[in-house]
């Protein structure tokens, strides 16, 4: 799933700590859950919050590309399930490749809750 990114940081120069997954929606934006950022982990990580895109093996530090990130969560988020959404901002745009592309979102809302009934779907995150 080439739109998936790992959000986290390096505890040492060689050890990546995955905190949450997210979906690349533009070359600079990722959609994820706000609860990913409740605990401040920046003191534990060598370079603060980062994202890894295009990585198929998080144990291989040469796998994928890195970007430093900032984030904003929904203004009504209060630590519960409601409004548990955040947008992550990459410091430098990401070049799309065959391993890194934004998620395909529908062009129109799907108002019919039965529209995908009995279809197979993929879930990631």
Convert the pLDDT of each residue in 49-78 to its tens digit.
Answer: 999 999 888 888 878 899 999 999 999 999
> Which residue from 6, 32, 1 is spatially nearest to 19, judged by alpha carbons?
6
Report the predicted TM-score, pTM, of the whole model to 2 decimal places. Answer: 0.86
pLDDT greater at residue 121 or residue 1: 1
Residue 14 CB-density burial (10 A; 0-12 exposed, 13-18 middle, 19+ buried):
exposed
**Residue 13 pLDDT > 90:** no
Per-residue model confidence (pLDDT) at position 30: 97
Helix (H, G, I), strand (E, B) or coil at 51: strand
Query: What percent of the chain is modeled with pLDDT above 90?
Result: 58
């Amino acid at each position: 799933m080439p739109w998936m990114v790992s959000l986290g940081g390096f505890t040492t120069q060689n050890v990546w700590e995955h905190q949450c997954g997210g979906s690349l929606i533009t070359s600079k934006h990722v959609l994820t859950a706000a609860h990913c950022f409740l605990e401040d982990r920046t003191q534990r990580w060598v370079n603060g919050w980062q994202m890894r895109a295009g990585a198929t093996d998080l144990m291989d530090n040469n796998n994928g590309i890195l970007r430093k990130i900032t984030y904003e969560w929904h203004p009504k988020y209060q630590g519960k399930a409601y409004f548990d959404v955040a947008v992550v901002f990459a410091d430098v745009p990401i070049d799309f490749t065959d391993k890194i592309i934004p998620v395909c979102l529908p062009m129109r809302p799907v108002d019919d809750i039965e529209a995908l009934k009995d279809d197979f779907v993929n879930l990631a995150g």
